[in-house]
Amino acid sequence: MTTILELNGVTKSYKQGQEVLTVLDHISMQVNKGEFGAILGPSGSGKSTLLSVIGALTSPSNGEVILNGRNVHTMNGKEQTSLRLKEIGFIFQQSNLIPFLTVEEQLLLVGKLIKQKERLQERALELLSHLGLAERSSHYPEQLSGGEQQRVAIARALMNEPKLILADEPTASLDRERGKSVVELLVKETKERHIATIMVTHDESMIRDCDWVYRMR
Ligand code: ADP
Ligand code: MG
């Protein structure tokens, strides 16, 4: 097994006036390639904060995050931006698609942000057809169902061939059946691509196919 992500004693506290609120308290974990893991916990337990720290969107107060052998929080801002663009795919509760771009254009846009621009359109169309969206490639987000929008968000997250997918409540705006099929798709892509995915959820029914579950209180 190859470790792709390692957390060592990650702590995150916020100052609130005189008080200090410790949201993450010495979290250590290892994630291997090919694993689909879930972080489960009630609202306010720090799940999104943990994903933000892993994805270099927020600095930890203490501890380290090692992604693909590199310490994420000792990099400069430019290196972090490049890391987020090339090595991490983000998926959120709302698909956050751009309303005036077609499905295909959503993918081309993230592809254009990286240096390696070969076969962009070909790769976008391959991904869309792989995710069952071939017929939707020239549609706008408002013409899609919630489940389809989330599948486009998955395709967009995969466009730059990341090593790690961070999904924050990707099923929360979907009904149970559509939610389950989004999770199944994420599991399948994780295994096929031999990448790692961490999914945050508060829904016990979404964790059936997980390789591991981390519970937050
Ligand atoms: P979850 O995603 O599990 O619902 P969050 O990670 O969003 O939880 O939040 C965990 C706790 O941290 C909450 O009590 C929240 O109010 C607090 N928190 C999150 N971000 C900040 C911030 N930027 N400043 C102060 N407190 C914050
Ligand atoms: Mg959250």
Give 120-163 pLDDT, tens digit per residue: 999 999 999 999 999 999 999 999 999 999 999 999 999 999 99
Ligand 1 environment, Cβ below 6 A: 14, 21, 23, 41, 43-49
Ligand 1: nearest atom to the Cα of 43: 4
Nearest CA to ligand 1 atom 13: 44
Kindly calculate the radius of gyration of the chain based on its CA atoms and give it in whole angstroms: 17
- Whether 116 shows a pLDDT value over 70: the answer reads no
CA of 133 to the centre of ligand 2 (A): 28
Distances (CA, A) of 146 to 120, 124, 170, 171, 185: 26, 20, 11, 10, 15
Mutate to test the pocket of ligand 1, among 10, 11, 12, 14 (most ligand atoms within 8 A of CB): 14
Average pLDDT over residues 168-197: 93
What confidence score (pLDDT) does residue 115 get? 66
21 alpha carbon, closest ligand: 1
pLDDT band at 110 (very low <50, low <70, confident <90, very high): very high
Give the span between the Cα atoms of 211 and 217, in whole angstroms.
20
Q: Whose CA is nearest to atom 23 of ligand 1?
A: 14
Protein residues placing their CB within 5 Å of the ion ligand 2: 48
25-39, 104-118, 195-209: segment of lowest average pLDDT:
104-118
User: For residues 32 and 164, is the Cβ–Cβ distance under 8 A?
Assistant: no
- CATH architecture classification, 3-215: 3-Layer(aba) Sandwich (3.40)
Domain coordinates in residue numbering, the chain: 3-215
